[in-house]
Structure 1
Amino acid sequence: MKTAHRPALPPRDQVCRPAAVLFDRDGTLVHDVPHNADPDRVSVIPGVREAVRLVREAGIATGVVTNQSGIGRGLLTHEDVRRVNARVDELLGPFDVWVYCPHRPGFGCPCRKPRPGLVTDASRRLGVRPDACVVIGDIAADVLAARAAGAEGILVPNAATRPAETAAEDDPAPDVLTAVRRVLARPCPGGQGGLERGRPV
């Protein structure tokens, strides 16, 4: 079977890579099951395994930042969310950090995306600056939370993404694997290599 040609990644010392890549969970890493409390219903989106593997092989920290308003709505418990998160870790390998917001919309918390709290908390736990992080997600709240924290946000639209959210982005990625490959292949400004944003290579 003929396979599509994929350009080789440039040498590591010729690219500028983030210190961490933070992923949204539902609709980005795994298929969205609203307010899911059942680990058996967790299903990885195609291409995500390879994307996460590439990030780890590049020596970049990984994390997940996710809104889980089902807790605030009384539909989930913290333990439900932890069990589902643990299943994601089993399927994709353990992420370096998990941060979730349990609050319902309108609660006024600083953590619920599009506010920056999840991103700043994740970066703090990883010991990197927020502006050394890239956030990948499937809705505008993900990229807006990233930018509010000073990080880069990359939108990967799906069927649940509003057309206006996709249109507002200059260069949305068609899938998570493409988004990750873009990040890993990004040249340093002025051709200077050898440093990640936020820490030495």
Structure 2
Amino acid sequence: MTSPDRLVILDRDGVINQDSDDYVKSLAEWIPYPGAIDAIARLSQGGWTVAVATNQSGISRGYYTETTLAEMHAELCRLVNEAGGEISHIAWCPHGPDDGCSCRKPLPGLLEEVRDALGLATLSGSWMVGDSLRDLQAGDAMGCHPVLVRSGKGEMTLAKHPELVTTDSETRVFEDLTEFADWLMARQKLKAGN
């Protein structure tokens, strides 16, 4: 049984794979960052449950179909499985910013879906890893620990929101998913040793 403090929720574009201002529209354009697949597999092997929560407004904009998105996610899961890990759930929002949905981050709908799919009562104490402010806001609404990676739009997010790195900010900042996974696993080892 998953417990919230052993759950890591990842944004997709900019965290797991390269992002594009023109959208990631095909399997050929879906390019994982070096080390990201391995980082997910290592978290999985270390006893963490890994889920993904991703806005995919390119669907409502007509840039790609749900079938194409399913191909990308099947490839993501295949690569992670091949590396010895598992993604427990992928929640995605196909809507655009003006569609009035409840799932598009910064709203918490995708995270509520993750919570329900994993049979959890709460996400309080889980980790939400993203490269944009809206990822952190969605996580915050559900009581997640906020983590910003500098990959994807992370550097731009930091430039726009310097308050994220002030001493009283709860947001932890890492170069990328690999560095976060290393830190989280080292932290767990330390806790287990006490």
Structure 2, unaligned stretches of length 5 or more? Answer: none
Which structure has greater helix proportion? 2
- Highest RCO, 1 vs 2 (Cα 8 Å, sep ≥ 6): 1
Matches of 1:141 and 1:175 in 2, distance apart?
Answer: 17
Matches of 1:156 and 1:17 in 2, distance apart?
Answer: 21
The root-mean-square deviation of aligned C-alpha atoms, in Å, is 2.5
Contact 1:42 1:88 in 2 (8 A): no
Q: Percent identity at matched positions?
A: 28
Matches of 1:166 and 1:159 in 2, distance apart?
Answer: 17
Matches of 1:67 and 1:178 in 2, distance apart?
Answer: 23
1:165 corresponding residue in structure 2: 161
> Is it true that 1:27 corresponds to 2:14 in the alignment?
yes
1:154 corresponding residue in structure 2: 147
Query: How far apart are 1:165 and its partner, in Å?
Result: 3.3
Structure 1, unaligned stretches of length 5 or more? Answer: 1-15, 195-201
Report SS of the residue matched to 1:45.
coil
Number of corresponding residues: 177
TM-score (norm. length: structure 1): 0.78
Q: Return the match for 1:90 from 61, 72, 78.
A: 78
Q: Return the match for 2:108 from 93, 103, 116.
A: 116
5 Å-filtered alignment, 1:31-180, equals: 31-33=18-20, 34-93=22-81, 94-128=86-120, 129-158=122-151, 160-161=153-154, 162=156, 163-165=159-161, 167-169=163-165, 170=169, 171-180=172-181
**Cα offsets for 1:9-68 (capped at 9, x unmatched):** xxxxxxx98221111111100111443232122221122123112211111111110000
Query: How far apart are 1:132 and its partner, in Å?
Result: 3.8
Greater gyration radius: 1
Report SS of the residue matched to 1:168.
helix
